[in-house]
Amino acid sequence: MLLITCPWCGAREETEFRHGGEGVRVPPDGDDPGWTRLLYYRENPAGPYAERWVHVHGCRQWFHVVRDTTTHQILSTRRLDGQEGAA
Amino acid sequence: MEHAFTNPEFLWRTPQPRASYDVVIVGGGLHGLSTAYYLAKNHGIRNVAVVERGWLGNGNAVRNTTVIRSNYLRAESMPLYDFGLRLWEGWEAELDYDLMFDQRGVLALTHTKVEANGVKRTVAANRLTGIDAEWLEPDDIKAFCPIVNVSPDIRYPVMGASLQRRGGIARHDAVVFALARAASALGVDLLQGCEVTGFEMAGNRVTGVLTSRGRIGAGRVGLVGAGRSPLLAGLAGFSLPIQSYPLQALVSDIVDPVLDCVVMSGTLHVYVSQAQKGELVMGAGRDTYHSYAQRGSFQILEHQIQAALELYPIMRRAHLLRTWAGIVDVTPDASPILGRSPVDALYINCGWGTGGFKASPVSGYVFAHALVHEVPHELATSFSLERFETGTLVDEHGAAGVAH
Ligand SMILES: Cc1cc2nc3c(=O)[nH]c(=O)nc-3n(C[C@H](O)[C@H](O)[C@H](O)COP(=O)(O)OP(=O)(O)OC[C@H]3O[C@@H](n4cnc5c(N)ncnc54)[C@H](O)[C@@H]3O)c2cc1C
Ligand SMILES: [Zn+2]
């Protein structure tokens, strides 16, 4: 089980959270390949991965996480506005 | 004194890499080995190498729970998976190996009206396609599989089930051994400890693979990397609509025979069969986060065991012996990707996700065809990478789900 530091609430067990996938999704300019990418393609690196989680059984805030997909180590968590968490 | 026993014969040759091959297959799991086998057997292409970063069958090939069935939903998928099941039915004789292939029946329980309707729809679609499928009411389930708790007062009462009698299990390691032996005997070089680290290109055409054992020239290359397919595609300069997640499984200690079929429950995220040895083999849903680490989170196992204990109270007395995970290559529509890639002479076979063991024969069969003829086999025309541009997805979430 992962121990995830919610920027608002502090370190809590993974079961309080839900994984939300790739961190930042940018809508395309309107071309088809761009939409294909937006709909179906996600980054899938081996190493640090920028993703989002939501503290669904806590404060219900979404936030940014950088996690290493080869070790599951959480490298950082940040609020959506980019601020470091107070917690 | 002479040794009391001798080592068994080696099943396959261990050659040095040649300078080049007609076809290089990347990935020595079941699908890579099956592809190489069918290249040699069906097409007479024997100047073939399988390059494998670890040892043959280190990945999902031997981490899966070996459920075999063909009761998928879509018109595009059913013929593919059922042709696969028919290949299984002849494989032990063809490969001359005891695969412990056992058509003991696969039962898929339902617990909600919506799920029951969905499964009945799949049963109907299967029957219309000539695939054996039956709908069982709770009393029939109890008769077919006595350990299932069909009482109406459990948290998620059983509302009925589909049954595919031709479905079953096999011994995954044996399949690796059998395919490796057969491919090697036909002339395929199996190169272990040979990690692909890049591709040699001439313009947009692949001309070789760069490996930890040096450069190997290739007329054509097939990527069959399962969970690591996105990394291989990245080395070749393109992306795949695949996300890699841990999928866990576990076995109990050895117990008396209590279960002679496979039972799955999509809603409760658990499925179980009993190995011939006596262990209860159980799988769950996948973990939620991306990973290449081949392990998952404990609460997934906890959840699956809770469900198992409610559905099969007799399992309360079993002990957890071992758990593990593989990294599964999940596509947006839970269907595989087979065929051309954006790079010339480079072909892809991936996206089987949580359910590719059953497809080991057919995956290699159709992919070998694509590598030779440069067009998909007729069973695989709907599974190209382009479907994500055209939107013609083959949505098998219902039939794939937890039910591998
Ligand atoms: C826990 C679990 C349970 C499952 N249960 C079922 C089930 O009941 N029924 C079912 O049908 N399916 C099931 N599956 C899915 C099934 O195991 C897979 O779909 C299938 O095994 C994938 O094909 P493979 O055997 O070729 O994969 P793998 O064995 O993973 O083969 C891929 C190979 O590529 C190699 N490779 C990767 N990158 C490189 C590189 N750069 N260079 C060289 N080699 C490389 C890897 O080392 C690996 O050996 C399950 C999977 C898991 C994890
Ligand atoms: Zn919080």
Token pair of B271, please? 């499925």
Query: Do B117 and B179 meet the contact criterion of CB atoms below 8 Å apart?
Result: no
Confirm whether A72 is domain-assigned.
Answer: yes
Check pLDDT > 90 for residue A87: no
Confirm whether A34 is domain-assigned.
Answer: no
Confirm whether A83 is domain-assigned.
Answer: yes
Put simply, whether B297 touches A (Cβ < 8 Å) is yes
How many angstroms from the chain centroid is the CA of residue B321?
Answer: 23
Beta strands in B297-393 (DSSP E): 320-330, 337-340, 346-350
Selected for mutation to probe chain A from B196, B232, B286, B290 (highest A CB count within 10 Å) is: B290
Average the pLDDT over each of A9-18, A23-32, B67-76, B186-195 and give the range with the smallest value.
Answer: A23-32
Ligand sitting nearest the alpha carbon of A87: 2
Element (H, E) at B362: helix B360-373
| Distance of alpha carbon B327 from alpha carbon B226, whole angstroms | 8
Query: Do B400 and B353 meet the contact criterion of CB atoms below 8 Å apart?
Result: yes
Looking at every residue in chain B, the average pLDDT score rounds to 96
Check pLDDT > 70 for residue B401: no
Instruction: Classify strands A10-13 and A3-6 as parallel, antiparallel or unpaired.
Output: antiparallel
Task: Name the percent of chain B lying above pLDDT 90.
Answer: 94
Q: What is the pLDDT of residues B243-261, one digit of tens each?
A: 999 999 999 999 999 999 9
Put simply, whether B302 touches A (Cβ < 8 Å) is no
Mean pLDDT of B354-375: 98
SS3 B115: helix
Query: Do A85 and A7 meet the contact criterion of CB atoms below 8 Å apart?
Result: yes
Confirm whether A31 is domain-assigned.
Answer: no
Mean pLDDT of B7-14: 87
Check pLDDT > 70 for residue B17: yes
Q: Is the CB of B328 under 6 A from ligand 1?
A: yes
* B39 contact partners, CB below 8 Å, separation of at least 6: B23, B25, B45, B46, B48, B188, B368, B371, B372
Distance (Å) of CA A81 to CA A6, A85, B295, B322, B369: 14, 10, 32, 43, 52
| Distance of alpha carbon A63 from alpha carbon A81, whole angstroms | 9
| Distance of alpha carbon B160 from alpha carbon B142, whole angstroms | 10
Check pLDDT > 60 for residue B111: yes
Confirm whether A56 is domain-assigned.
Answer: yes
Looking at residue B247, its pLDDT comes to 97
Task: For residue A23, name the pLDDT band (cuts at 50, 70, 90).
Answer: confident
Looking at residue B4, its pLDDT comes to 63
Put simply, whether B298 touches A (Cβ < 8 Å) is yes
- For chains A and B, CB pairs below 8 A equal 54
Looking at residue A84, its pLDDT comes to 85
Mean pLDDT of B187-195: 98
Check pLDDT > 90 for residue B239: yes
Task: For residue B346, name the pLDDT band (cuts at 50, 70, 90).
Answer: very high
| Distance of alpha carbon B197 from alpha carbon A83, whole angstroms | 38
Ligand 1 centroid vs B386 CA: distance in angstroms? 23
Task: For residue B153, name the pLDDT band (cuts at 50, 70, 90).
Answer: very high
Average the pLDDT over each of A10-14, B40-44, B282-286 and give the range with the smallest value.
Answer: B282-286
Q: Give me the CATH number covering residue A80.
A: 3.30.2270.10
* B140 contact partners, CB below 8 Å, separation of at least 6: none
Looking at residue A32, its pLDDT comes to 83
Higher pLDDT, B73 or A28: B73
Domain with A5 in it? 1-20+41-87
How many separate domains does chain A show? 1
Confirm whether A36 is domain-assigned.
Answer: no
CA angle centred on B59, ends B53 and B61, rounded to 5° = 125
B260: left (phi > 0), else alpha (psi -120 to 50), else beta?
alpha
Confirm whether A75 is domain-assigned.
Answer: yes
Q: Is the CB of B51 under 6 A from ligand 1?
A: yes
Confirm whether A59 is domain-assigned.
Answer: yes
SS3 B273: strand
Q: What is the pLDDT of residues A43-85, one digit of tens each?
A: 999 999 999 999 999 999 999 999 999 999 999 999 999 888 7
Q: Is the CB of B357 under 6 A from ligand 1?
A: yes
B residues 314-373 closer than 8 Å to A (CB): 332
| Distance of alpha carbon B379 from alpha carbon B367, whole angstroms | 10
Q: Are B290 and A33 in contact (CB < 8 Å)?
A: no
